[in-house]
Amino acid sequence: MKRISILFTCLLCLLQGAVDVSGRWSGTIGLAAGEGSQPIQLVLHQDGTKLTGTVGPSAEIQPVSLQDGSVLSGVVHFKYERFGVFTFDLTLNDNRLSGHNVPLEGQPSVTISVERVAD
């Protein structure tokens, strides 16, 4: 029974590390109410479950650093500060990350949808 437990734990560790979202991602960010969208580019660097990177309107303009980033079970979590602190949970599906912020009181609901950019 102990062997099964150890094998199961090893398998879980492998599965968590199987997703790598490192690279450039391009798409849109907009209000969930559909009131318009803006271009967005994410440049992500993953080390195990830790995620760092930058965000901006283009690959050349990346003024904001991601904070508290992680990748667990296909969910990409990060914060960034731009006109307030925004926290996002994005889900990886094929080569697309999509999701929304976790709004604080008074914040609008914002969605992000980006696709991996081939290098």
User: Where are the strands (E) in 3-107, listed by range?
Assistant: 23-31, 37-47, 50-56, 64-65, 67-72, 75-81, 85-93, 96-101
Q: Are 49 and 17 in contact (CB under 8 A)?
A: yes
Please write the tens of the pLDDT for every residue from 43-79: 999 999 999 999 999 988 888 999 999 999 999 999 9
Mean pLDDT of all residues in the chain? Answer: 85
This model's pTM is above 0.85:
no
Q: For residue 4, is pLDDT > 60?
A: no
More confident residue, 3 or 110: 110
List of residues 6+ apart from 61 with CB closer than 8 A: none
Q: Are 74 and 91 in contact (CB under 8 A)?
A: yes
**pLDDT at site 25:** 97
Name the phi and psi angles at 61, rounded to 5: -115, 105
Residue 14: pLDDT band (50, 70, 90) is very low
The tokens of 39 are what? 């271009």
DSSP 8-state class, residue 106? T
| Selection from 27, 24, 21 nearest residue 114 by Cα | 27
Kindly report the CATH class assigned to 2-117: mainly beta
Percent pLDDT > 70 in the chain is 85
